[in-house]
Chains A and B, each alone.
Chain A
Amino acid sequence: MTMIRGEHLYKVFGPQARKAVDLFEQGWTRDEVKEQTGALGAVIDADIDVAEGELFVVMGLSGSGKSTLVRMINRLHDPTSGTVEIDGVNVTELDGKELRDLRAGKVSMVFQRFALFPHMTILDNAAWGLETQQVDKDERYEKARKALSTVGLDGWEANYASELSGGMQQRVGLARALATEADILLMDEPFSALDPLIKRDMQSLLIELQSELRKSIIFITHDLNEAMRLGDRIAVMKDGRIEQTGEPDEILSNPATEYVAEFVRDVDRSRVLTAANAVQDPLVTLSPDTQPRAAMVQMRDHEAPELFVTESDRTLVGAVRDDDVAEAAKRGDRTIRDVLHHDYGQTGEDTPLGHTLLDAARYTLPLAVVDEQGRLVGVIPRVTLLSALANRDVLAEDGDPDANGSGPPDAAELAAQAANDGQPVASDGQAHSRGETTTGETPAEEGAHHG
């Protein structure tokens, strides 16, 4: 269900604001309009749509209009044009009293520089949203205490903001926003002013709180990694316009514009992309009941020195090597059951790719991706893994795929090869990995000889 909907939102500062909107609608650029009218288009034709319980990130550099956009939701800035709807109510039409009620009850806000009241105690700070609603003292202190406890600030009620560290101050900011029990949180770069370590703590706190409270959150940031870590969906803004809205991996793998592509270049993909983003269909799998000779034919036809073995319901039971299968055939085994081995990496679909690097490096077989029931979903050949992390095009330039230090020594070479080859396919991946780790000869040939 849609909680917040903003349609064709414009915010223009300066003279002739209405005229500027008309010009923007005719397709003028921000610079042209500024030249013509002297007005600055802070937000231009923005559409956003936030579902109930969704954490929606608006990302952009400073001056991109993201703070202005979020301030139009609770009308700290009145939109020059366009509408905002919250839970079906048209916010743009509310009068003063209705707007104050909305801000006190339905939508609360967290600020970049905390914006705590220095002359009030922490408790009074946290109770502010209730004080504006004229909730009586006992009740508002009780709720404020509860909110402070939620963010881990028990015992600090009587202190003043200046006595707290930055991270703790922002916890108060968060408690102030939670105390009103608003359904919607607007968070304007809440963690940008914090040290990296504290920032991570606060992100974890937010994730934890969100899993319990399921608020609808609009979260502003200029930090792509933060956006990727927190966002259910992300909108990327540039020069007042929303360039792209989508899920994190969508933004990463399918940047809609040059700008977004540029922006996501530096993201730490190993943490954002999960196994599910890189998984491919396995080339072919064998059943444990396959006769060794039939297995050898399969392996030769697919030029694969090793294959995964699954039951008929795709439950992964192991893998076989070509020489073991040949041995079994020589012995006259009826099936390949006895020559199964487990020398391969296995991972779940939600595992971040960064965590799979070690397994991928250790074994010759591609990484097996299995679901919760142990069924084989697909495989991730090492080349695919590395090129997903490196985003191919980028890699050719900086050639640094194993920044984490956990990649295999030949990783750069492999990935560079992938970059030249273009789209790698599963069989290539399997063959390559075998070749590279043994002799370094032309891998496809070697695979064929084995067959």
Chain B
Amino acid sequence: MADEAFSLPRIPIGDGVDAAVSFLRTELSGFFNAVQTVFGASVEAMEWVLMLPPPLVFAAIAGLIGWRLRSWQFGAFAFVAFSVVDSMNLWDETISTLSLILIATVLAVIISLPVGVLAARNDTVSTLVRPLLDFMQTLPVLVYLIPAVLLLGIGTPGGLAATLIFALPPGVRLTELGIRTVDKEVVEAAEAFGSSRNRTLMRVQMPLALPAIMQGINQIIMLALSMVVVAGFIGAGGLGNEVVRSISRVEVGTGFEAGLAVVILAIFLDRLTSVVGQPERNKSKQDA
């Protein structure tokens, strides 16, 4: 064919990735085994804690938190919503999903805060990190699952790893953005009075970046939730499994119920975290 002459030789990018993954599997198997254990154990521990209270007590606690942090309407919603989850017989699955999300969020925050701070302080770090984050966020989510399974195996640890990678970027981005957009004169004022870099960071930059950082955490949770369902494909457990099973059996009803439970978790976590990002003072500042 004439077309042959114009086609570029194939560059074996995929082969490279394969080689890299198998290299990691063989050479760093100790490390990945350890990660697998820690991931699995921490999610299980979280699950155990969350399963301690009976469903109705849990729903009441959630209602109380919602009431204290937001409003009594939201508290009432939380109580009813979690009761509905229990009545749909999806309690265990929901708690298992919630545990996975919480652990993924905690890990994502632990990683993204320092990286975001570094990126805010150092332009080189920022330039290096940005394309990496773009890559992590835009690669089709199912593609994460394959290396996650290969490196960490089927089940919760692989699902957690894939969720973590997918949910991390907004945490880093918003931390960097938050710190960078703190009024330069305010930072200068802190330094003009002899503040060290760490003191300026902890006493001035971080508190002022808090709304942005909280927004980042909120985004992490939302992304983790959306990924958790996808992770059902590799048997990460919880509501994801339910959704996958209902799809394969074409059971619209159960699929909807599992989906509804996910939405309830999403609304609860979203409203809760968005309120934490707006302390009283910032509200009054907006009024002024």
**Given A115-B188, A117-B186, A163-B288, are A132 and B208 neighbors across the interface (CB < 8 Å)?**
no
Of the 9-residue stretches B53-61, B82-90, B166-174, B193-201, which lies at the interface with chain A?
B193-201
A 99-126 contacts with B by CB, 8 A: 99-105, 108-109, 111-113, 115-119
Task: Report if A180 contacts B (CB, 8 A).
Answer: yes
B200 (CB) vs chain A CBs: closest residue: A132
Task: Report if B281 contacts A (CB, 8 A).
Answer: yes
Of the listed residues B189, B191, B207, B284, the one surrounded by the most CB atoms of chain A closer than 10 A to its CB is B189
B191 (CB) vs chain A CBs: closest residue: A76
Q: Please measure, in the bound complex, the distance between the C-alpha atom of A94 and the C-alpha atom of B186, giving whole angstroms.
A: 24
Verify B281–A109 contact, CB threshold 8 A: no
Q: Please measure, in the bound complex, the distance between the C-alpha atom of A132 and the C-alpha atom of B204, giving whole angstroms.
A: 12
Task: Report if A160 contacts B (CB, 8 A).
Answer: yes
Q: Please measure, in the bound complex, the distance between the C-alpha atom of A163 and the C-alpha atom of B286, giving whole angstroms.
A: 11
- Distance between A381 CB and nearest chain B CB, rounded to angstroms: 51
What chain A residues lie within 8 Å of B188 (beta carbons)? 76, 111, 115
What chain B residues lie within 8 Å of A129 (beta carbons)? 193-194
A164 (CB) vs chain B CBs: closest residue: B288
**Given A117-B204, A162-B284, are A103 and B186 neighbors across the interface (CB < 8 Å)?**
no
Verify B189–A133 contact, CB threshold 8 A: no
Verify A118–B193 contact, CB threshold 8 A: no
Task: Report if B183 contacts A (CB, 8 A).
Answer: yes
Task: Report if A433 contacts B (CB, 8 A).
Answer: no
- Distance between A191 CB and nearest chain B CB, rounded to angstroms: 16
**Given A115-B185, A118-B208, are A160 and B193 neighbors across the interface (CB < 8 Å)?**
no
Verify B190–A117 contact, CB threshold 8 A: yes
Q: Please measure, in the bound complex, the distance between the C-alpha atom of A206 and the C-alpha atom of B167, giving whole angstroms.
A: 54
- Distance between A97 CB and nearest chain B CB, rounded to angstroms: 9
What chain A residues lie within 8 Å of B203 (beta carbons)? 131
- Distance between A139 CB and nearest chain B CB, rounded to angstroms: 16
Verify A111–B185 contact, CB threshold 8 A: yes
Task: Report if B285 contacts A (CB, 8 A).
Answer: yes
- Distance between A270 CB and nearest chain B CB, rounded to angstroms: 36
- Distance between A448 CB and nearest chain B CB, rounded to angstroms: 68
- Distance between A74 CB and nearest chain B CB, rounded to angstroms: 6
Task: Report if A176 contacts B (CB, 8 A).
Answer: yes
- Distance between A4 CB and nearest chain B CB, rounded to angstroms: 15
Verify A74–B192 contact, CB threshold 8 A: yes
Verify B193–A104 contact, CB threshold 8 A: yes
CB < 8 Å neighbour of B192 from A108, A112, A118: A108
- Distance between A361 CB and nearest chain B CB, rounded to angstroms: 49
Verify A116–B186 contact, CB threshold 8 A: yes
- Distance between A200 CB and nearest chain B CB, rounded to angstroms: 24
Verify B193–A176 contact, CB threshold 8 A: yes
Verify B190–A119 contact, CB threshold 8 A: no
CB < 8 Å neighbour of A111 from B189, B194, B195, B208: B189
CB < 8 Å neighbour of B194 from A100, A119, A163: A100
User: Number of contacts between A and B (CB, 8 Å)?
Assistant: 74
- The 8 A CB mask of A278-305 against B (1 = contact, 0 = none) is 0000000000000000000000000000
- Distance between B197 CB and nearest chain A CB, rounded to angstroms: 9
Q: Please measure, in the bound complex, the distance between the C-alpha atom of A209 and the C-alpha atom of B191, giving whole angstroms.
A: 25
What chain A residues lie within 8 Å of B196 (beta carbons)? 100, 132
Of the listed residues B190, B193, B281, the one surrounded by the most CB atoms of chain A closer than 10 A to its CB is B193
**Given A116-B186, A132-B199, are A162 and B288 neighbors across the interface (CB < 8 Å)?**
yes
What chain A residues lie within 8 Å of B183 (beta carbons)? 115
Q: Please measure, in the bound complex, the distance between the C-alpha atom of A133 and the C-alpha atom of B196, giving whole angstroms.
A: 10
Q: Please measure, in the bound complex, the distance between the C-alpha atom of A118 and the C-alpha atom of B279, giving whole angstroms.
A: 12
- Distance between B179 CB and nearest chain A CB, rounded to angstroms: 14
Q: Please measure, in the bound complex, the distance between the C-alpha atom of A118 and the C-alpha atom of B199, giving whole angstroms.
A: 16
What chain B residues lie within 8 Å of A100 (beta carbons)? 194-196
Verify B194–A105 contact, CB threshold 8 A: yes
CB < 8 Å neighbour of B189 from A102, A109, A160: A109
Verify B193–A119 contact, CB threshold 8 A: no
- Distance between B286 CB and nearest chain A CB, rounded to angstroms: 9
CB < 8 Å neighbour of B186 from A101, A105, A115: A115
Of the listed residues A104, A119, A131, A180, the one surrounded by the most CB atoms of chain B closer than 10 A to its CB is A119
Of the listed residues B191, B194, B282, the one surrounded by the most CB atoms of chain A closer than 10 A to its CB is B194
What chain B residues lie within 8 Å of A219 (beta carbons)? none
Task: Report if A128 contacts B (CB, 8 A).
Answer: yes
A124 (CB) vs chain B CBs: closest residue: B203
B189 (CB) vs chain A CBs: closest residue: A115
Q: Please measure, in the bound complex, the distance between the C-alpha atom of A111 and the C-alpha atom of B285, giving whole angstroms.
A: 20
Verify B285–A103 contact, CB threshold 8 A: no
**Given A118-B208, A119-B281, A163-B288, are A108 and B193 neighbors across the interface (CB < 8 Å)?**
yes
Verify A113–B185 contact, CB threshold 8 A: yes
Verify A118–B281 contact, CB threshold 8 A: yes
B281 (CB) vs chain A CBs: closest residue: A160
Q: Please measure, in the bound complex, the distance between the C-alpha atom of A180 and the C-alpha atom of B189, giving whole angstroms.
A: 14
- The 8 A CB mask of A67-107 against B (1 = contact, 0 = none) is 00000001010000000000000000000000111111100
Verify B185–A180 contact, CB threshold 8 A: no
- Distance between A292 CB and nearest chain B CB, rounded to angstroms: 72
CB < 8 Å neighbour of A163 from B192, B193, B284: B284
Q: Please measure, in the bound complex, the distance between the C-alpha atom of A189 and the C-alpha atom of B83, giving whole angstroms.
A: 61
Verify B192–A109 contact, CB threshold 8 A: yes
What chain B residues lie within 8 Å of A117 (beta carbons)? 186, 189-190, 204, 208
What chain B residues lie within 8 Å of A76 (beta carbons)? 188, 191-192
**Given A117-B204, A119-B208, are A128 and B281 neighbors across the interface (CB < 8 Å)?**
no
Q: Please measure, in the bound complex, the distance between the C-alpha atom of A163 and the C-alpha atom of B281, giving whole angstroms.
A: 10
- Distance between B53 CB and nearest chain A CB, rounded to angstroms: 36
Closest 5 CB pairs of A and B: A104-B194, A115-B189, A103-B194, A129-B193, A100-B194
Give 16 CB contacts A-B under 8 Å: A100-B194, A101-B194, A104-B193, A109-B192, A111-B185, A115-B183, A118-B208, A118-B281, A118-B285, A119-B207, A119-B279, A128-B189, A128-B193, A160-B284, A163-B288, A180-B193
Given contacts A76-B188, A128-B193, A162-B281, list 8 more A-B pairs with CB under 8 A. A109-B189, A109-B193, A113-B185, A115-B185, A115-B189, A119-B208, A132-B194, A133-B194
- Measured CB to CB, the residues of A under 8 A from B are 74, 76, 99-105, 108-109, 111-113, 115-119, 128-129, 131-133, 160, 162-163, 176, 180, 186
